Structure 1
Amino acid sequence: MQNLDLSIDHKALHGKFSTFGNIVSCKVAVDASGQVKRLWGLWNTCRYAQKATEKLNGMLLNDKQVYVGSFLMRQ
């Protein structure tokens, strides 16, 4: 998840992501100045992750349109 409002925190992330299925893990990554860089969640099935990606991508969260995509490992 990218393009996030600064007020988004772990609790808000978990609340939003949990509507799509059982969450194994979710995290908020911040930079050295405390600015939110990225959020990510891990569900117990791919189906839940795909559903979340489809529903959340382009959604407005705190008046900011967010980008949600699947995790891709760097080669």
Structure 2
Amino acid sequence: MIKTIYRLPVYWASPLISDDYSGINDMEKAEIRKFLEKVEGSPVSVDFTTEGFYHYNDAGTLAGNCADFLFIKD
């Protein structure tokens, strides 16, 4: 099992972890899908203790409120 941590926008938690895209607009959905196409593994959890404002994230989106997401590949 390979574990990878990505720093991503915190509002991605619901779509990535619960597959709940309500409240996400079409442009945001496209950003999430584009990110998922280029990474390996599946998102399984979010470490909210890392939540805060970051000037960068692994999705390449604008600076904002982010947290570390754990992805696992079997």
Question: Same fold per TM (> 0.5)?
Answer: no
TM value normalised by structure 1: 0.27
TM value normalised by structure 2: 0.28
Q: Which has the higher strand share?
A: 2
